[in-house]
Amino acid sequence: MANQGVERSTEAAKLKAAGALVPQVAIAGVSGYAGGELARLLLRHPGMQGSAPIFLGRAGETSGVTTTIEEIHPHLAMIAARPSHAVEPFNWDRLVDAGTKILFMATPHEQSREWVPEAIARGIRVVDLSGAWRLKEDANRAVYKLTDADASVAAKLQAEAVFGSPELHREEIRTARLVANPGCYSTSVILALAPLTRAGVIDLDRGIICDAKSGVSGAGKAPTSKTHFMSAADNLSAYAVFGHRHTGELLEQLHVAADQIQFTPHLLPIPRGILSTIYVRLKKKTAVEEISGLFSDFYESSPMVRLHATPQLPQIQHIVRTNFCDIGFTLAEDGQRLVIVSCLDNLLKGAAGQAVQNMNVMLGWKEEEGLL
């Protein structure tokens, strides 16, 4: 940890010496779990050089109320030199006057769909953590039941929105005005399968089975009967079978048909973390070395993906509170039955950490800056 602190200080010193301008960023929706993680990461990000983000509540959250990010998230109280950072009511003039370059939207899908066109019109680039802009096809996006004040403007923005997986769309993200952060489940499954689907080695006619399990924080901060301690503790339950909203992301990013992949999520009685176990059959008998080569070549320039050497498999305890996605696999003796295991922290690589990773790409910084 000490070495990481030295590296962050050194990088900040380099930026300062080079006369690099500190970009003003803002977070809308800081009260949730993802908003809190965004605040933590950006307050200590070396590229910010001590310049705090603008913290904004969701619509109506802070009207007439004075609060601070430290009151909402007490674990942030000692993270910066300033004793506190105010959470302000959302205000477009405030963002424009401050010269905001990037706005993180940690807001409900409907609110992001409403506010993003206004942000883009005002020259502010957006990283949206909701599902409002992730999906290109109307049939897939229908699960969110979104409406638009101006359908033509929304359609143009939807067409230019970039799916915010740096490992898949790094070059498009660099110049994007609107980056749609992927879902947590979909990130774990897409990163596990993309090297194989793009190489065309999976027998899609035999189908892909994705058995994914997530901690309770994946359901958001608002409590429900299913996430109540009495329901979640000492339990494991499947939900949203044949209807989870992240399924569309798998179809669009992996270029598979709905009848070629089955994704079933489960609720784990832990605070955070995702483990996805994925079952595929290969088109022909394949050696372990060939599979390893597909993964290592695909992720050669991806610092946030860690590959496990067979027969080691990832575990949640090794990725929690990190921005890594760990991937490992086991190949059956027949050389055709393959099981891939993918692990990540749903609040970091599955949400806030990946959003900061996207910001780094958009600003031309090292992809892993402020995330190690």
For the segment 303-316, what is each residue's pLDDT rounded down to a tens digit? 999 999 999 999 99
Is residue 121 a part of any domain in this protein? yes
- CATH, residue 116: 3.40.50.720
Distance of alpha carbon 33 from alpha carbon 163, whole angstroms: 22
Query: Residue 157 pLDDT more than 70?
Result: yes
pLDDT in tens, 158-204: 999 999 999 999 999 999 999 999 999 999 999 999 999 999 999 99
Q: Is 364 left (phi over 0), alpha (psi -120 to 50) or beta?
A: left
* Same domain, yes or no: 213 and 318: yes
Is residue 367 a part of any domain in this protein? no
Q: Which tokens belong to 340?
A: 């891939």
Entry field: residues in the chain:
372
* Same domain, yes or no: 215 and 305: yes
* Same domain, yes or no: 169 and 190: no
Is residue 259 a part of any domain in this protein? yes
pLDDT in tens, 79-135: 555 568 999 999 999 999 999 999 999 999 999 999 999 999 999 999 999 999 999
The model's confidence at residue 251, banded by pLDDT at 50, 70 and 90, is very high
* Same domain, yes or no: 131 and 193: no
- CATH, residue 195: 3.30.360.10
* Same domain, yes or no: 21 and 142: yes
pLDDT mean across residues, the chain: 91
Residue with tokens 């990832």: 314
* Same domain, yes or no: 279 and 336: yes
* Same domain, yes or no: 135 and 168: yes
Q: How far does the chain reach from its first CA to its final CA, in angstroms?
A: 9
Distance of alpha carbon 24 from alpha carbon 95, whole angstroms: 9
DSSP state of 282: B
The model's confidence at residue 228, banded by pLDDT at 50, 70 and 90, is confident
**Angle between helix 184-199 and 247-254 (nearest 10):** 20
* Same domain, yes or no: 12 and 122: yes
The model's confidence at residue 219, banded by pLDDT at 50, 70 and 90, is confident
Q: For 255-293, give one letter per residue: b (16+ CB within 10 A) or e.
A: ebeeebbebbbebbebebbbbbbbebbbeeebeeeebbe
Q: For 146-170, give one letter per residue: b (16+ CB within 10 A) or e.
A: beeeeeeebeebbeebbbbbbbbbb
* Same domain, yes or no: 42 and 172: yes
Question: Lowest-pLDDT range, 47-56, 105-114, 257-266?
Answer: 47-56
CA dist 194 → 82, 120, 182, 191 (Å): 43, 30, 14, 6
| Confidence at residue 350, expressed as pLDDT on a 0 to 100 scale | 98
| Confidence at residue 218, expressed as pLDDT on a 0 to 100 scale | 86
Is residue 148 a part of any domain in this protein? yes
Domain boundaries, position 287: 185-344
The answer to whether residues 193 and 254 touch, using CB atoms and an 8 Å cutoff, is: yes
Q: Which residues on adjacent β-strands are paired with residue 179?
A: 127, 162
The model's confidence at residue 59, banded by pLDDT at 50, 70 and 90, is low
Is residue 236 a part of any domain in this protein? yes
Question: Lowest-pLDDT range, 55-64, 303-312, 326-335, 360-369?
Answer: 55-64
Is residue 372 a part of any domain in this protein? no
Calculate Rg over the CA atoms of the chain.
Answer: 21
Distance of alpha carbon 348 from alpha carbon 342, whole angstroms: 15
In the chain, the percentage of residues whose pLDDT exceeds 70 is 91
Is residue 368 a part of any domain in this protein? no
Average pLDDT over residues 205-233: 89
The model's confidence at residue 139, banded by pLDDT at 50, 70 and 90, is very high
Question: Lowest-pLDDT range, 17-26, 45-54, 244-253, 295-304?
Answer: 17-26
* Same domain, yes or no: 273 and 327: yes
Is residue 370 a part of any domain in this protein? no
* Same domain, yes or no: 176 and 191: no
* Same domain, yes or no: 8 and 101: yes
pLDDT in tens, 5-23: 444 445 545 544 444 578 9
The answer to whether residues 279 and 330 touch, using CB atoms and an 8 Å cutoff, is: no
Look at the alpha carbons of 296, 204, 169, 101 in this order and tell me if their dihedral is positive or negative. Answer: negative
Q: Which residues on adjacent β-strands are paired with residue 274?
A: 214, 344
Could you give the residue numbers annotated as active site? 184
Question: How many structural domains comprise the chain?
Answer: 2
DSSP state of 272: S
The model's confidence at residue 224, banded by pLDDT at 50, 70 and 90, is confident
